[in-house]
Amino acid sequence: MAPTLEAKKAVLFHLLNLNLLLDLGVDPPSSPTTILPPTAAPQSECHLVYGQTRCFSLQAPWVGPSRPVVRRPQSPEEIGTTFSLFTQQNYSVAVPLDPGRLSTILGAPFVPDQPFKIITHGYFSHGAVAWAETLKGELLRAQDQNVVVVDWSVGAMPPYTQAVANLRLVGEQLAYLIYSLSKFADVPIGAFHLIGHSLGAHLSGQAGTILQRTYGLKVPRITGLDPAEPYFNDTHPITRLETSDAEFVDVIHTDDSPILGFPLSIGMTQPIGHLDFFPNGGSQPGCDNGALNCHHTRAITYFTESIRQSCPFMAVACPSYQKFIDGECWGCKGDHPCSLMGLNASPITVPPRTSLYLETTAQSPHCGYHYRVSVTVSNSSEARSHLGEFAITHLRLEGHKDYSPVLKLSTQSHYYEAGTTQRRVILTRDIGKLQTLTLHFEDPTWLLPRFTKGIYIESVTVEPLGRDIRWKFCFDDSFQRLDRDYKLTLKNMC
């Protein structure tokens, strides 16, 4: 049997040695972790985790076509995991939590009756990485709550396969921490929200599984920020983040870009949560500067920006990104419900692993307001005899609150044929009530000019997402010449 594409990806990623900066983090270590010589595959590896023996299977499904190399988790002493508590009262000075020393749990300065947000970094990173500091700060500015930062930086170092093995042990440690807080410090299990990036997303999923199987506890929410793909795509659900790990699992997927031209990405492309958000379809604007980790870390940026909510990250359930931007999924009703992406995401009545799509901007703030624009071509005898034209539509929206920049309905020319409608979703500022619509139909074939070159547009309709409003404009003239500006105002409403 020929190997699957996922198996080829996993082998390729292993061969690349994985000494790639996948997360914003530390410089490469001067001497990489020692790679042990291959031996006969053992059944399992056991370690003492806070005085309790925990064994980790080294057989399927922990090894298989999509993860051809299996390693033993390092010991807790080698990994040196730490948990640091922050509140508004100790914003910059961490209070260590050590589940092996009950006094650190009982004596910790928790903010009572407030949420516990647990942040976990990924591969080749550390607990004091800049994005974790920023996320912690935004959470504490928003609310006086408890923020715990997990640092498993030694265990997250290369080789990647060792980090994949180590996250299983750290998941046991995190699960025991949450159990200890619940049992000994009376923190309700409903207070916990785990937030993990890259390998940290799968680590959070492991903690969720262990909490249920070992301690009979289920956390209400896990958020995966671009979970890592290599060794996790197309694998058994127990090996990765998935829907059963928490009451609500929301995932932001931001990286489907190939690595160095190879057919694999750092971020996961499979939907694995209750809600799976794919901003811009998985490839992020503004990430064309060659930075390897730009797409991968953009999920963190979106989640962090969502805390202040200067504008909404509203996403729409849709079968594909192309259908979304073509305006085929709209209205936040029926088969296309909407949900906010980020901190304010919440369950909606859809099947698990539902994909939701939205647009973002290239620069911060990345959020905005979606509008569907429909350009309808007349089906008159004149329009039909004209046989249509190719054009690129530029438009500008002006409302009573704000105005948009000049936007393109498509990057390539569109054929405007009689009786057809072109729809496109655009993202811009909140313009309020639309008052003026300016259009320009660009001639993409200007090398072959014709004096009668133009199109027969019957109407242009603009609809804001999430609001039961439609603004429809009609032209005074039935024929619009290319490369001219047309300004439609309230008197052109029809």
pLDDT for the residue 23: 42
Collapsing DSSP states into helix, strand and coil, what is residue 210? helix
Place of tokens 């795509």: 233
198 among known catalytic residues: yes
Its pTM stands at: 0.92
Q: Which of 274, 296, 366, 386 is catalytic?
A: 296
What's the mean pLDDT in 413-422?
A: 91
pLDDT at 22 over 70: no
Query: Domains of the chain, with CATH numbers?
Result: 17-358 (3.40.50.1820), 369-492 (2.60.60.20)
Angle at 273 between CA 79 and CA 317, to 5 degrees: 145
| Cis peptide preceding 159, ω within 30 of 0 | yes
Q: Which of 23, 151, 226, 443 is catalytic?
A: 226
Give the E-state strand segments of 187-344 in sequence order.
Answer: 192-197, 221-225, 248-252, 275-279, 314-317, 338-340
pLDDT for the residue 290: 62
CA distance 339 to 471: 24
DSSP line for 237-273: GGGS--GGGSSEEEEE----PPBTTBS--SB--S--S
320 among known catalytic residues: no
CA distance 223 to 187: 20
Of the listed ranges 40-44, 51-55, 324-328, the one predicted with least confidence:
40-44
**In the structure, what pLDDT confidence band is assigned to residue 276 with cuts at 50, 70 and 90?**
very high
pLDDT at 451 over 80: no
443 among known catalytic residues: no
Angle at 241 between CA 78 and CA 195, to 5 degrees: 75
Q: What are the tens digits of pLDDT across the range 259-270?
A: 666 667 899 999
pLDDT for the residue 20: 43
- Listed in sequence order, the residues at least 6 apart from 156 whose beta carbon sits closer than 8 Å to its beta carbon are 121, 122, 123, 124, 125, 126, 163, 166, 167, 199
Q: Answer whether 373's CB lies under 8 Å from 424's CB.
A: yes
Place of tokens 């200067």: 310
Q: Answer whether 401's CB lies under 8 Å from 311's CB.
A: no
Q: Answer whether 180's CB lies under 8 Å from 106's CB.
A: no
Q: What are the tens digits of pLDDT across the range 179-234?
A: 999 999 999 999 999 999 999 999 999 999 999 999 999 999 999 999 999 999 99
What's the mean pLDDT in 34-60?
A: 82
pLDDT for the residue 309: 83
pLDDT at 332 over 70: yes
Q: Which of 125, 198, 257, 355 is catalytic?
A: 198
Percentage of the chain lying above the pLDDT 90 cut: 80
Closest CA to 200 of 134, 129, 152: 152
Q: What share of the chain is helix, strand, coil (3-state, %, to 5)?
A: 25, 25, 50
Q: What are the tens digits of pLDDT across the range 25-43?
A: 333 333 333 344 455 567 9
Collapsing DSSP states into helix, strand and coil, what is residue 426? strand
**In the structure, what pLDDT confidence band is assigned to residue 19 with cuts at 50, 70 and 90?**
very low
Q: Answer whether 68's CB lies under 8 Å from 79's CB.
A: no
pLDDT for the residue 446: 61
CA distance 374 to 152: 51
Q: What are the tens digits of pLDDT across the range 356-394?
A: 999 999 999 999 999 999 999 999 998 888 877 889 999
How do strand 82-86 and strand 52-57 relate by DSSP bridges?
A: unpaired
